[in-house]
Amino acid sequence: MTCNGVTYEGAYSSTSGRRKRPPTNRIPLTLALLALLACLPEAAGLDPKFDPSTRMRLVLVPADATVGSVIYRLRASDEEFEYPLQFELVGDASSSTVQIETLPCTKFNSICQANVILTRRLEPGRYYDFQVSVKDTKGGMSVQSCSITATNFTTPHDVIFPHKAGIIMVPEDAKKGTELDYVLANKNPLFQKPVYLELWGSPLFGIRQKFISPETAEGTIFLLGQLDFEKQAMYHLTVLANDAYAEPGQDTRNIAGLEVVVIVEDVQDVPPVFTVAPPVTRLPAGLIPGDKVLQVHAEDGDKGVPREIRYGLVSEGNPFTSFFDINETSGEISLLRPLDDILALTHAGDPVLLTVIAEEVKVSRDEPPAMATTVQLAFFLPERSNSPPYFENDHYVARLEENAAPGTVLAFTDPYTPRVMDDDAGKNGVFSLTLLGNNGTFEISPNVAEGHANFVVRVRDNARLDYETATYVHFQILAQELGPATNLSTLVNVSVYLADVNDNPPAFEQNDYIVDLPENMTAGTRVVQVHATDVDTAGLGGRVRYTQILGPHNTSLNLDPASGVVTVAINNHGFDREAMPEYHLYVEARDDDGIGNRAQVPLVIRLIDVNDETPTFEKPLYEFILAADLRNFTVPAFIRATDGDAEAPNNEVRYELIYGNYENKFFLHPITGELKLNGPLVPRSGAQSAVGGLRRRRQASSSVPSGLPSTATTSQKETDVFVLTARAFDLGVPVRYSTATIRVYPPESRTRTVTFIVPGSDPDRKKVQDTLADITGGRVIIQEVRPYRTGDGGIPTDIIGGGGGAGSGPGSERSVVIATILYDADSVVDIAKIQQRLSINGTVTNIISQEERSAILYKAENRVLFWLLIFLAILLALGILTLLLCCICPRCPLNATNR
pLDDT at 81: 86
The per-residue pLDDT for range 368-405, each reduced to its tens digit, is 888 888 888 988 887 655 678 899 999 999 998 888 88
pLDDT at 222: 95
Rg (CA), the chain: 51
| Residue range(s) defining the domain that contains residue 118 | 49-150
| CA 447/CA 479 separation, integer angstroms | 9
| CA 381/CA 374 separation, integer angstroms | 23
Q: 164 in a domain, yes or no?
A: yes
| CA 359/CA 307 separation, integer angstroms | 9
Segment holding 870, helix H or strand E: helix 850-888
pLDDT at 235: 92
> Same domain, yes or no, for 526 and 484?
no
Q: Is-contact 614 653, C-beta < 8 A? A: no
Question: What are residue 433's DSSP bridge partners?
Answer: 479
> Same domain, yes or no, for 68 and 92?
yes
> Same domain, yes or no, for 301 and 418?
no
The enclosing domain of 330 has a CATH number of: 2.60.40.60
| CA 488/CA 388 separation, integer angstroms | 5
> Same domain, yes or no, for 629 and 639?
yes
| pLDDT > 90? residue 542 | no
Helix/strand/coil for 608: strand
Q: What is the mean pLDDT of residues 200-218?
A: 93
Q: How many percent of the chain have pLDDT more than 70?
A: 82
| pLDDT > 60? residue 898 | no
Q: Is-contact 753 634, C-beta < 8 A? A: yes
| pLDDT > 60? residue 292 | yes
First to last CA, the chain: 106
In 626-753, alpha helices (H): 686-703
Q: Say which range, 145-149, 674-678, 712-716, 812-816, has the weakest mean pLDDT.
A: 712-716
pLDDT at 848: 46
pLDDT confidence tier of residue 307, bands split at 50, 70 and 90: confident
Q: 872 in a domain, yes or no?
A: no
How many structural domains does the chain have? 7
pLDDT confidence tier of residue 74, bands split at 50, 70 and 90: very high
Q: What is the mean pLDDT of residues 136-149?
A: 93
> Same domain, yes or no, for 491 and 519?
no
Question: What are residue 6's DSSP bridge partners?
Answer: 3
Segment holding 130, helix H or strand E: strand 127-135
Domain boundary among 108, 126, 150: 150
pLDDT at 71: 94
With 0-12 / 13-18 / 19 or more C-beta atoms within 10 angstroms meaning exposed / middle / buried, residue 839 is exposed
The pairing of beta strand 6-7 with beta strand 814-822: unpaired
The per-residue pLDDT for range 786-818, each reduced to its tens digit, is 888 876 655 554 444 444 333 444 446 888 888
> Same domain, yes or no, for 324 and 230?
no
Q: How many CA atoms lie within 13 A of 624 on its CB side?
A: 24
> Cis (ω within 30 of 0) for the bond into 156?
no
Which are the contacts of 255, defined by CB distance < 8 A and separation ≥ 6?
70, 71, 72, 73, 115, 240, 241, 242, 243, 244
Q: What is the mean pLDDT of residues 163-173?
A: 86
> Same domain, yes or no, for 589 and 515?
yes
Q: 11 in a domain, yes or no?
A: no
- E-strand ranges in 336-447 read 352-360, 372-380, 390-391, 395-401, 419-421, 430-436, 442-445
Q: How many CA atoms lie within 13 A of 56 on its CB side?
A: 31
Q: What is the mean pLDDT of residues 331-342?
A: 86
With 0-12 / 13-18 / 19 or more C-beta atoms within 10 angstroms meaning exposed / middle / buried, residue 688 is exposed
> Same domain, yes or no, for 558 and 631?
no
Instruction: Quote the DSSP letter at residue 325.
Output: E
pLDDT confidence tier of residue 644, bands split at 50, 70 and 90: confident
| pLDDT > 80? residue 231 | yes
Q: What is the mean pLDDT of residues 247-257?
A: 93
The per-residue pLDDT for range 170-202, each reduced to its tens digit, is 988 889 999 999 999 999 998 888 999 999 999
| pLDDT > 80? residue 34 | no
The per-residue pLDDT for range 717-760, each reduced to its tens digit, is 445 788 999 999 999 888 889 999 999 988 765 677 788 888 88
- E-strand ranges in 187-277 read 196-200, 205-211, 216-223, 234-242, 255-265, 273-276
| CA 871/CA 868 separation, integer angstroms | 5
Q: Is-contact 601 529, C-beta < 8 A? A: no
Q: 328 in a domain, yes or no?
A: yes
> Same domain, yes or no, for 743 and 755?
no
Domain boundary among 608, 643, 667: 608
DSSP labels, 85-111: PEEEEES-GGG-SEEEEEPP--TT-S-
| CA 562/CA 536 separation, integer angstroms | 18
Of 844, 851, 846, 824, nearest to 835 (Cα)?
846
Segment holding 621, helix H or strand E: strand 621-625
pLDDT confidence tier of residue 662, bands split at 50, 70 and 90: confident
At residue 473, what is the residue type?
A: V
Query: Distances from the Cα of 627 to the Cαs of 452, 630, 755, in angstroms?
Result: 121, 5, 18
| CA 122/CA 67 separation, integer angstroms | 9
Q: Is-contact 534 495, C-beta < 8 A? A: no
| CA 568/CA 2 separation, integer angstroms | 44
> Same domain, yes or no, for 620 and 742?
yes
Q: 245 in a domain, yes or no?
A: yes
Core vs surface per residue 541-555: b (16+ CB within 10 A) or e? bbbbbbbebeeebbe
| pLDDT > 70? residue 45 | no
For residues 438 and 492, the model is more confident at: 492
Q: How many CA atoms lie within 13 A of 822 on its CB side?
A: 19
Q: How many CB atoms lie within 10 A of CB 175?
A: 7
Helix/strand/coil for 121: coil
Core vs surface per residue 770-808: b (16+ CB within 10 A) or e? ebbbbbbebbbbbbebeebeeeeeeeeeeebbebebbbb
| pLDDT > 70? residue 321 | yes
Q: 761 in a domain, yes or no?
A: yes
Query: Distances from the Cα of 885 to the Cαs of 61, 260, 893, 897, in angstroms?
Result: 105, 111, 11, 14
| CA 196/CA 672 separation, integer angstroms | 52
φ/ψ (deg, to 5) at 272: -60, 150
The pairing of beta strand 430-436 with beta strand 448-450: antiparallel
Q: What is the mean pLDDT of residues 255-263?
A: 92
pLDDT confidence tier of residue 32, bands split at 50, 70 and 90: very low
| pLDDT > 90? residue 537 | no
pLDDT confidence tier of residue 847, bands split at 50, 70 and 90: very low
How many helices (H) and strands (E) the chain has is answered by: 8, 56
> Same domain, yes or no, for 527 and 420?
no
Q: What is the mean pLDDT of the chain?
A: 81
pLDDT confidence tier of residue 538, bands split at 50, 70 and 90: low
Q: Is-contact 798 732, C-beta < 8 A? A: no
pLDDT confidence tier of residue 693, bands split at 50, 70 and 90: very low
Q: Is-contact 529 565, C-beta < 8 A? A: yes
pLDDT at 403: 84
The per-residue pLDDT for range 487-528, each reduced to its tens digit, is 788 999 999 998 888 777 888 989 999 999 998 898 989 999
pLDDT at 777: 80
The per-residue pLDDT for range 859-877, each reduced to its tens digit, is 666 777 888 889 889 988 9
The per-residue pLDDT for range 1-21, each reduced to its tens digit, is 333 333 333 333 333 333 334
Q: Is-contact 271 302, C-beta < 8 A? A: no
At residue 614, what is the residue type?
A: T
The pairing of beta strand 582-590 with beta strand 430-436: unpaired
| pLDDT > 60? residue 637 | yes
> Same domain, yes or no, for 479 and 494?
yes
Which are the contacts of 550, defined by CB distance < 8 A and separation ≥ 6?
585, 586, 587, 588, 600
With 0-12 / 13-18 / 19 or more C-beta atoms within 10 angstroms meaning exposed / middle / buried, residue 102 is middle
| CA 264/CA 267 separation, integer angstroms | 9
Q: 889 in a domain, yes or no?
A: no
Q: What is the mean pLDDT of residues 436-442?
A: 89
Domain boundary among 479, 499, 519: 499
Q: 688 in a domain, yes or no?
A: no
Q: How many CA atoms lie within 13 A of 363 on its CB side?
A: 7
| CA 397/CA 420 separation, integer angstroms | 16
pLDDT at 669: 94
pLDDT confidence tier of residue 895, bands split at 50, 70 and 90: low
pLDDT at 641: 93
